[in-house]
Structures are given as structure tokens and as C-alpha cells.
């Protein structure tokens, strides 16, 4: 059963990658300049006893591999350790910071898919029209403008002129409050990617519209919507699914700028803060989670590709 084999192979790959990532991250942290103790004590007065005590507490005198082994054994027992900075368990720290990031990611995905695909398709179908020209111009702008600079303009328009959306924070736990607070961050994050999706969708749609079978269908009287759904959508699905995967990955691991600007205490900020402070347990825990996430998302994207288009199941061979 090829699908099962595929899944098993990929799952094995997941485990390998996560292990490799954990070791690489640990090594990188060891190589990075600065020391945990210096970070904790800062440019404040200290004594040699204090330094020695801290070093013993965090096993900093053990050899590198021993330290990694300690950590690995802990993880295999489900104990990700505690943050060197606050003493809170790594799992609770991650649990405090992850939900916001996930929510922004999903919201952004909805915007990108919900706006980008219809816009691209419409532009492709109404090729050459004013709508198409307008959309194309916007994509040029979208790809050229630094995302956060556009964010500023948006906030200025939607803030100074019309106080529509809150400008900082993630809001309370009520869904309406959350959506209100996360709208501007989601728009800022979605900007460049919507441009790409629109362009890809438009190009693919144009492709499809020019095909003989579409002309034939139209001649037969099949409605444009039907054509759209039956032919255009399926053909553009693949790049779109990939872009969605990429977006999720970016949102989880690379959205620090957005998080800082909008004061969202998310996983991006957590990673930066922990790396800077050399908070090894937190960085390791978060890196593992992100690695897992990345690999699973790519797995889903590839699985979706197989499902969407059977022809991709047959790898091209010379």
C-alpha cells in the first residue's frame, strides 16, 4: 500500500530530523558567544562563590555530550526541564506563548487563501480588464514594499483616521476580542504572501483558460463558475497548498517582527529572548516543537499534493 509506506517513511524521517535538530541546536547554543552565568548576573556586582554556584546548578562544568545526554534522557521521560531564567517548566513557558502565534498563523492563512485565490482567479479570467490591471499593480506593490512599512501605513489609516482596530496586545480570551486584536498583525503578515498567491493563481488560471478543453466547455455552454471550479481550482491547488505550508512555517518561526510591533508574546519572541539569554532548556524545547511542526506541515502538504493530483504520484523518470 503505497500511501502507508509513504507515511511510514516520512514518519521515520520526522523522528530523525527532530533528533538531528535537537543536537544541532544544542551544539549551536554551546558555540554561541556569551555565557548563561553572565546573562543571569549581568553587569552587577558578583562574587566567585556566586559564579561557581550558578555553574554547578546548571551543570556547566560537565562535558558537552554529557550535558546533551542529560537533556535527552529527561526529554524521553517527558521532562523538558525548567527555564534557567524563571524556573518555570519549559512546557508551561511554551504553552503560554504558542497559542497566540498559532492563532495569528491561522488567521493569516484564512486571509491569504480567502483573498488571494479568488482575486487571482478573477484576475486570470477577466484577463486584461481594469480589475486585472489593478490587481497586478497591487501585487507589484505587495512584493516590493517591506511588510512592516505597509503595516505602519495601514495602522495609520485604520487608526488615526478611523479607530477600527486595537494596535497592541492579543486581547482577552473572547473570540471577538482576539479577532479584533489579531487582525492588523494578520494583515501585516499576509501581505507579501497574498501577492505571490495572486500571481501564481492568476498565471495558472490564465493557463487553464487558454486550453482547448475550456474553449470547448464554454462552447458547450458550461458556466464560467463551473469551469473555474472544475478546472482552474484543481490546477492551482498545488502551489497554493505549498504556499500555505510555507506561511504556517513562517508564522511560527519567523514572525518576530510582527510580534514585537504588536506586543504579542508569541513563540517568535520567546525564541529570540531565550536564544539571547542562552536559556538552553527553553530553546531546546521550542526548537523541537518547531522542528516537529515544520516537518509535519511539509508532510501534510506533500500528502495533499499526492491526493490533489494523482499524476504527481508517478515520479518522472528519464
Partner 1 sequence: MRTNAHRVRTPGSRAGTALAGLVAVGLFATGCTGSSGGTHGGQATSFTFGVGAAPISLDIAKDFDGNIMQIMALVTEKLELISSNGDLSPALATSVTQPDSTTLVYHIRSGVTFSDGTPLTAQDVAWSLQHMTDVKAGAQTAGNVPSFQSAAASGPLQVTVKLKRPDPTARQNLAVISFVQEAKFGAAHQKDLGTAAAIPIGTGPYQVSSDTTQAVSLTRNPHYWGPKPPMSKISFNVITGGDNTSQLAMRSGSIQGTLVANLKTASQWQAVKGASLYTLPALTTTFLTLDISSGPLSDVHVRKAIAYSIDRAGVMAAGYGKYASLMRGLAPAGVLADVAPSVQEAEAFLAALPQYDLDPAKARSELAQSAYPHGFSLTIPYVQDAPFSQLTVENLAQNVKPLGVTIKLKAITTQQWIATIYAHGKGLGVQTMELIPPVPDPGAVLGVVTGKPNIRPQGFNLANWSTPQVEQAFTQLTTSVDKQTRWRAAQTLLTAIADDVPYIPLYDPDTVAVLGNGFSFSRALTLFDLDVNGTWASALKTG
Partner 2 sequence: MTIQAVPVPAPSTRRRARRIPVVPLLGGAALLAVLVCVVSGAALAPQDPTAQHPTLSVTGPGPGHPLGTDQLGRDVLSQLIAGARSAVIGPLAVAVGCVLIGVAAGMAAAYFGGVVDTVVNRFADLVYALPALLIAVVVVGVLGGGYWKTAAVLLVLTIPFEIRLCRSAAQVQVRQPYVDAARTLGLSPWRILFRHVLPNIVPTVLATFLLDFVGALISFAALSYLGLGVPAGTPDWGSMLAAGQQLITENPWLSIAPAVLIIITAASATLLGDWAHERLSRGGERA
Q: Which residues bind partner 1 (CB under 8 A)?
A: 33-35, 37-51, 53-54, 57, 82, 85-89, 92, 96-97, 148, 151-152, 155-156, 158-160, 163-170, 180-181, 254-257, 259-263, 265, 268-269, 272-273, 276-278
Q: Which stretch binds partner 2 (CB under 8 A): 36-44, 87-95, 106-114, 308-316?
A: 308-316
Residue 181 or 202: the one with the smaller Cβ distance to partner 1 is 181
3-class state of residue 82 by DSSP: strand
3-class state of residue 283 by DSSP: helix
3-class state of residue 305 by DSSP: helix
Q: Could you say which of partner 1, partner 2, none residue 92 binds, taking C-beta under 5 to 8 angstroms by partner kind?
A: partner 1
> Around Cβ 32, how many Cβ atoms within 10 Å?
12
Distance of closest approach, residue 76 Cβ to partner 2, in angstroms: 19
Q: Which stretch binds partner 2 (CB under 8 A): 88-96, 108-116, 217-225, 253-261?
A: 253-261
By CB under 8 A, is residue 263 in contact with partner 2? no
Residue 171 or 193: the one with the smaller Cβ distance to partner 2 is 193
Residue 145 or 179: the one with the smaller Cβ distance to partner 2 is 145
By CB under 8 A, is residue 108 in contact with partner 2? no
Cell numbers for 87: 524556573
By CB under 8 A, is residue 141 in contact with partner 2? yes
Apex CA 234: angle with CA 232 and CA 236, to 5°?
70
By CB under 8 A, is residue 244 in contact with partner 2? no
Cell numbers for 110: 484564512
By CB under 8 A, is residue 97 in contact with partner 2? no
CA dihedral (152, 154, 159, 160) in degrees, to 10, reads 80
Alpha helices per DSSP H over the chain: 2-31, 36-41, 48-57, 64-76, 90-111, 117-125, 130-144, 147-155, 175-209, 212-220, 224-227, 234-253, 256-261, 267-276, 280-308
DSSP secondary structure string for all residues of 176-209: HHHHHHHHHHHHHHHHHHHHHHHHHHHHHHHHHH
DSSP 8-state secondary structure symbol assigned to residue 33: S
Closest by CA to 251, choosing from 313, 174, 191, 302, is 191
Binding site residues, partner 2, CB under 8 A:
13, 17, 20-21, 24-25, 28-29, 31-33, 127-128, 136, 139-141, 143-146, 148-149, 192, 195-196, 199-200, 202-204, 206-207, 209-210, 235, 238-239, 241-243, 245-246, 249-250, 253-254, 257, 271-272, 275-276, 283, 286-287, 290-291, 294-295, 298, 302, 305, 309, 311-312, 315-318
Amino acid at each position: 500500500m503505497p500511501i502507508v509506506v509513504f507515511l511510514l517513511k516520512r514518519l521515520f524521517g520526522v523522528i530523525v530530523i527532530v533528533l538531528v535538530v535537537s543536537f544541532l541546536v544544542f551544539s549551536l547554543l554551546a558555540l554561541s558567544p556569551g555565557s548563561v552565568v553572565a546573562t543571569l548576573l549581568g553587569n552587577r556586582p558578583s562574587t566567585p562563590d556566586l559564579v561557581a554556584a550558578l555553574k554547578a546548578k546548571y551543570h556547566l562544568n560537565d562535558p558537552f555530550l554529557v550535558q546533551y545526554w542529560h537533556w535527552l534522557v529527561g526529554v524521553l521521560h517527558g521532562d523538558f526541564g525548567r527555564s534557567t531564567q524563571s524556573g518555570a517548566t519549559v512546557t508551561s513557558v511554551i504553552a503560554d506563548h504558542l497559542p497566540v502565534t498559532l492563532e495569528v498563523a491561522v488567521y493569516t492563512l484564512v486571509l491569504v487563501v480567502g483573498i488571494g485565490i479568488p482575486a487571482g482567479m478573477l484576475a486570470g479570467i477577466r484577463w486584461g480588464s481594469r480589475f486585472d490591471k489593478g490587481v497586478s499593480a497591487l501585487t507589484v506593490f505587495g512584493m516590493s514594499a517591506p511588510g512592516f512599512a505597509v503595516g505602519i501605513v495601514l495602522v495609520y489609516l485604520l487608526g488615526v483616521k478611523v479607530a477600527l482596530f486595537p494596535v497592541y496586545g492579543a486581547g482577552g480570551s473572547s473570540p471577538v476580542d482576539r479577532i479584533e486584536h489579531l487582525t492588523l498583525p494578520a494583515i501585516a503578515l499576509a501581505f507579501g504572501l497574498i501577492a505571490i498567491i495572486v500571481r501564481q493563481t492568476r498565471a495558472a488560471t490564465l493557463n487553464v483558460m487558454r486550453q482547448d478543453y475550456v474553449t470547448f466547455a464554454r462552447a458547450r455552454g458550461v458556466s464560467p463558475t463551473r469551469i473555474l471550479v472544475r478546472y482552474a481550482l484543481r490546477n492551482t491547488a498545488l502551489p497554493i497548498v505549498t504556499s500555505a505550508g510555507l506561511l504556517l512555517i513562517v508564522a511560527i518561526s519567523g514572525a518576530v517582527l510582527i510580534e514585537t510591533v504588536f506586543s504579542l508574546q508569541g513563540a517568535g519572541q520567546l525564541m529570540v529572548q531565550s536564544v539571547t539569554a542562552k536559556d538552553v532548556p527553553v530553546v531546546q524545547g521550542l526548537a523541537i516543537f518547531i522542528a516537529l511542526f515544520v516537518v509535519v506541515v511539509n508532510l501534510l502538504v506533500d500528502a495533499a499534493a499526492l491526493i490533489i493530483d494523482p499524476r504527481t504520484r508517478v515520479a518522472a523518470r528519464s
